[in-house]
Amino acid sequence: MRASTSVFVFLFASISAVSAGQEIPDYPVQRVSKHVYVIHGPREIPNPTNRGFMNNPAFVITDQSVVVVDPGSSVHIGEMVVRQVRKVTDRPVSHVFVSHIHGDHWLGSAAIKHAYPRVKIYAHPQMIAAAKGGGAQVWLDFLSRLTNGATDGTRAELPTELLQDGQEIAVGGLTFRAYLSEHAHTRTDAMIEVVEDSLMFLGDIGVYQRMGRMDDGSFRGNIAALDRALTLNLKHYVPGHGPSGGPEAGDAFRQYLKMVYDAAVKYSEEGLAPYEIKAKLMPLMDKYRKWPLFAEDFGKQVSLAVLEAEQAAF
Ligand SMILES: [Zn+2]
């Protein structure tokens, strides 16, 4: 009896692992520059309707192969990215760049690796350490819960190639330059510039027309990273969430972070509580209150900024 129960459990587990999760329809692809295509996801949090798709996967067509950036939350989203690449070119995917540890950006790598077993997957060394140290499983579970299991069937395909700040990787006539931060949106962020296209992938260091998460972030570090990206004065900026654009696609969030952090420093020195600081800031938030997730996140972000300002004052 005991043995047959285990066999049943084993079979059931195998079947559900194969059939779990939900496919993703093909979302529109936008050509942002000569070589760069972006699939701009819904500006939402992962939910059962979007099946976890809410970031901006991108692919870059070089003379020899294809480079993918941030292939999304699940194996199913990664499969959609592969289908979209194949509509544009029959060149293989040779490289993936992962912007940071948050699973909505990189768990789709499993599909890229399955379709192109020789692909090299790059990330910040701390991203790889965090994923190995339990971060991968936390994100697999979190996304499954938020989507009612739509992302199930995904396994974490960890990056193996460690990026360094300033590193340049040449692929098929294009130059990919990495910009690493110690602590910006997370402690694992890499921004990637496509030099010949005058384009920067910001990861979640820059979000646009949708609020960004600061739970793992540093206001000062995130502002410094955006300063660095925007000082380059490139033609194109691709945010982690929201539409791509010119410098405004990075500058809007930089202005927001500065306003919140500067107010946190000034008013916490004067002894104001976070809710009072929030009230002082509200009239300055006209541009941002329309951004999805603003209402949910703003109060928490003011508290985080106050905490960071108080720690910096010691
Ligand atoms: Zn993120």
| Average pLDDT in the chain | 94
- Over the stretch 216-241, which tens digit does the pLDDT of each residue have? 999 999 999 999 999 999 999 999 99
**Can you give the pLDDT at residue 5?**
46
- Over the stretch 98-149, which tens digit does the pLDDT of each residue have? 999 999 999 999 999 999 999 999 999 999 999 999 999 999 999 999 999 9
Residue 134 forms part of a structural domain: yes
**How many angstroms separate the alpha carbon of residue 314 from the centre of ligand 1?**
28
Exposure of 294 by Cβ count < 10 A (0-12 exposed, 13-18 middle, 19+ buried)?
middle
**Can you give the pLDDT at residue 3?**
44
Reference 225, options 253, 246, 198; nearest CA is 253
Residue 260 forms part of a structural domain: no
pTM score, two decimals? 0.93
Residue 264 forms part of a structural domain: no
Residue 243 forms part of a structural domain: yes
Residue 258 forms part of a structural domain: no
- The separation between CA 73 and the C-alpha centre of its own chain, rounded to angstroms, equals 9
Could you give the CA distance from residue 50 to residue 5 in angstroms, rounded to a whole number?
36
**Mean pLDDT (whole number) for 45-54:** 97
**Residue 303, SS3?**
helix
Residue 289 forms part of a structural domain: no
**How many angstroms separate the alpha carbon of residue 185 from the centre of ligand 1?**
7
- Number of separate domains in the chain: 1
Residue 124 forms part of a structural domain: yes
The tokens for 158 are 């960890």
Edge-to-edge strand order for the sheet containing 120-123?
30-31, 36-38, 58-61, 66-69, 93-97, 120-123, 161-162
**How many angstroms separate the alpha carbon of residue 203 from the centre of ligand 1?**
7
**How many angstroms separate the alpha carbon of residue 15 from the centre of ligand 1?**
32
- The separation between CA 235 and the C-alpha centre of its own chain, rounded to angstroms, equals 21
**How many angstroms separate the alpha carbon of residue 82 from the centre of ligand 1?**
22
Residue 313 forms part of a structural domain: no
Could you give the CA distance from residue 77 to residue 91 in angstroms, rounded to a whole number?
20
Q: What is the CATH number of the domain that holds 160?
A: 3.60.15.10
The tokens for 287 are 């541009």
Q: What would you measure as the largest C-alpha separation in the chain, in angstroms?
A: 71
Reference 167, options 119, 95, 224, 222; nearest CA is 95
The tokens for 185 are 């949106």
Domain that holds residue 152: 12-248
**CB within 5 A of ion ligand 1: which residues?**
102, 204
